[in-house]
Amino acid sequence: MKMIDMQFVEEYANRDWIRTRLDELSQGGDQGFTCQRWLRESLPKRAVFEQLYGDLLEPGGKCVLDIGGGVTSFTRELAARNDYTLVDLMAHDSGMDGAAAAMAGTGRLVTGDWWAFDSPLQFDVVVANDLFPNVDQRLALFIEKWLPRCGQMRLSLTWYDDPRWYVTKRVDGDEIFTVLAWDGERTLSTLLKFRENIIDFRPEFFSSAGKSPYPNGRRVCVIWLEN
């Protein structure tokens, strides 16, 4: 486990090779994708990206399932170097599925929910970046479904120290919900079930103090799990 705190981000900033590589790989039209803009604009996001995807950008080739990872210039590189499947709702870039599929190149783009997706493959790596547990609160269900189907799972997890909630509307109905974002205690309580699978499990991260490197004050850690 790694905590993405101020010190971690400052140390990453000394090399920031993800930004350099992003500039090298970018092609016309890539900046139209939301995740491309976010990655270019956010140093903490690039620090997290290195932890989750860095080795997958090098020669070697793994069977990779990327859940909700979005589309960036790195999508082409990930697809070229790995047996790569991206499952994404494309919520940020609706109507750009054709361009996204082209960027996936030799990989596979599946537009939809990970719960409905299935594959006969046994994956070397399953990745979910900036998805759990607040964009998608099914963290335990995700681990239970996909950890047995891979050698290694890599997740970035986000929570808030102070109460934060979102007023949302169902896409399949008229109800309006107020959804409370997860805090460190709730996130930790879910992970305890999988503590034997988490590499270098650090429960103290979920009660850590100090300034967040993110403008909205969120806390982020990266965890790797092994089957």
pLDDT 10s digits, 27-54: 888 888 999 999 999 999 999 999 999 9
Mean pLDDT of 85-114: 83
Mean pLDDT of 161-167: 93
Does residue 23 sit in helix, strand or coil?
Answer: helix
Mean pLDDT of 76-86: 94
Q: How far is CA 211 from the centre of its chain?
A: 22
Report the alpha-carbon distance of residue 123 to residue 35 in Å, rounded.
24
What pTM was computed for the model?
A: 0.94
Mean pLDDT of 63-85: 94
Cβ-based neighbours of 208, under 8 Å, separated by 6 or more: 3, 5, 184, 219
DSSP 8-state code for residue 182:
P
- Average pLDDT value over all residues in the chain: 94
pLDDT value at residue 155: 98
pLDDT value at residue 59: 85
Residue 221 host element (H or E):
strand 219-226
Enumerate domains of the chain plus CATH numbers. 2-226 (3.40.50.150)
Q: How far is CA 63 from the centre of its chain?
A: 17
Report the alpha-carbon distance of residue 151 to residue 168 in Å, rounded.
36
Inform me whether the pLDDT recorded for 165 exceeds 80: yes
pLDDT value at residue 99: 74
The residue that leads in pLDDT, 104 or 140, is 140
Confidence of residue 96 (pLDDT cuts 50, 70, 90): confident
Inform me whether the pLDDT recorded for 101 exceeds 90: no
pLDDT value at residue 223: 98
Task: Return the structure tokens found at 194.
Answer: 């999988």
Inform me whether the pLDDT recorded for 106 exceeds 80: no
pLDDT value at residue 75: 93
| Beta-ladder partners of 153 | 126, 225
pLDDT value at residue 148: 97
Inform me whether the pLDDT recorded for 103 exceeds 80: no
